[in-house]
């Protein structure tokens, strides 16, 4: 294999049609697959459904778009909840799912392969672990300058910056890293977030992901090797280069970059908090027996454990 920019390696590993980690017919998110996440739990859909309804019920034509919908469980669980809890609201709600591969079908959901094709909506543009799955460049600070990491014969090698935009990225976001420190630079994140913001005529842009504010992400010495990691069989790993297509590759999202991009698009920042904190508020209207609902994986971990603490949600909104 010739020398390849790490960004291209990650893109090939995750998104090669047919064989990429996220392009295979079976989505890897499940108990039997590689990882579980809160968006797949019926309680998440129920709590968020109640919370969202309060925020968007007043719109004439409320809509919800799930971008990076994966196996669709969030939307399918939401539909199942609203069918029982508030069929009238469900009937008024237009649902969109966006992903590169269509893995589910439901008469209430319009599926799109590209977020560009979303119409302008009033309601909510939602994503869950979309941004931590976008291919990133890997940069290292060396001496007085910056190098980019490439992949050659299954190992990292340093080389010059491959993309003119990286110089601008470093000027805007590059921390004063110590020599040898590494950092992920995703050039796709802000434009995609900006696109989602531009699709929101009125309502909420809700972004759930693993990540930090820039002040944490770039705190000197906190992440000297960056945050890049692999994930498979419900376990973290550090060897992101092994078994391309057979394991997830992910990293911590820079929420400050997303927040600033949203504000540039006229959104108001309502806050950023842990998934636990949002669910504690959103789940208040659920009946007490909800915790005993058919449990595909432990709800308590979702609400109070590692997933609930580590996953963050950025809430931005647009009013008239």
70 binds ligand SAM (CB under 6 A): yes
Smallest gap, in angstroms, from Cβ of residue 208 to ligand SAM?
A: 8
Smallest gap, in angstroms, from Cβ of residue 144 to ligand SAM?
A: 35
22 binds ligand SAM (CB under 6 A): yes
Cβ contact 251:226 at 8 Å:
yes
Task: With contacts defined by CB under 6 A, name the span among 34-42, 79-87, 266-274, 311-319 that binds ligand SAM.
Answer: 34-42
Within 130-149, the residues that bind ligand SAM by CB under 6 A are 130, 133-134
37 binds ligand SAM (CB under 6 A): yes
What is the rounded distance in angstroms from the CA atom of residue 120 to the CA atom of residue 199?
Answer: 4
Smallest gap, in angstroms, from Cβ of residue 199 to ligand SAM?
A: 12
193 binds ligand SAM (CB under 6 A): no
- Binding residue (CB under 6 A) for ligand SAM from 42, 68, 211, 308: 68
List, in order, residues 6 or more apart from 38 with CB less than 8 Å away: 44, 128, 208, 275, 279, 302, 307, 308, 311
Task: With contacts defined by CB under 6 A, name the span among 67-75, 139-147, 198-206, 272-280 that binds ligand SAM.
Answer: 67-75
Cα–Cα distances (Å) from 201 to 222, 238, 241, 313, in that order, read 38, 41, 41, 20
What is the rounded distance in angstroms from the CA atom of residue 25 to the CA atom of residue 4?
Answer: 26
Spell out a b/e string for 162-187, using b for 16 or more CB atoms within 10 Å of the CB, else e: eeeebeebbeebbbebeeebbbbbbb
Token pair recorded at residue 98 = 């966006």
115 binds ligand SAM (CB under 6 A): yes
Which residues of the chain form contacts with ligand SAM (CB under 6 A)?
A: 22, 29, 37, 39-40, 67-70, 98-100, 115, 128-130, 133-134, 192
């Amino acid at each position: 294999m010739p020398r390849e920019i790490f960004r291209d390696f990650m893109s090939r590993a995750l998104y090669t049609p047919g064989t990429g980690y996220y392009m295979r017919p079976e989505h890897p998110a499940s108990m039997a697959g590689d990882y579980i996440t809160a968006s797949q739990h019926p309680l998440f859909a129920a709590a968020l459904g109640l919370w969202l309804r309060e925020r968007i019920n007043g719109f004439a034509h409320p809509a919800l778009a799930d971008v990076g919908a994966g196996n669709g469980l969030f939307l399918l669980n939401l539909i199942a909840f609203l069918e029982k809890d508030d069929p009238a609201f469900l009937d008024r709600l237009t649902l969109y799912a966006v992903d590169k591969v269509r893995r589910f079908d439901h008469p209430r959901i319009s599926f799109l392969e590209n977020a560009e094709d979303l119409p302008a909506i009033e309601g909510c543009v939602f994503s869950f672990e979309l941004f931590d799955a976008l291919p990133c460049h890997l940069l290292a600070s060396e001496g007085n300058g910056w190098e980019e990491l490439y992949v050659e014969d299954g190992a990292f090698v340093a080389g010059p910056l491959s993309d003119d935009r990286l110089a601008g990225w470093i000027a805007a976001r590059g921390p004063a890293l110590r020599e040898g420190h590494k950092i992920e630079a995703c050039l796709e994140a802000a434009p995609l977030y900006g696109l989602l913001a531009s699709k929101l005529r009125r309502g909420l842009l809700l972004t759930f992901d693993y990540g930090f504010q820039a002040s944490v992400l770039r705190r000197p010495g906190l992440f000297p090797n960056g945050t890049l990691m692999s994930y498979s069989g419900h376990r973290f790993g550090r060897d992101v280069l092994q078994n391309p297509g057979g394991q997830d590759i992910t990293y911590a999202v820079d929420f400050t970059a997303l927040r600033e991009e949203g504000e540039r698009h006229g959104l108001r920042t309502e806050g950023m908090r842990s998934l636990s904190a949002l669910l504690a508020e959103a789940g208040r209207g659920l009946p007490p027996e909800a915790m005993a609902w058919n449990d595909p994986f432990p709800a308590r971990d979702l609400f109070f454990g590692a997933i609930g603490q580590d996953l963050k949600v950025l809430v931005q909104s647009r009013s008239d």
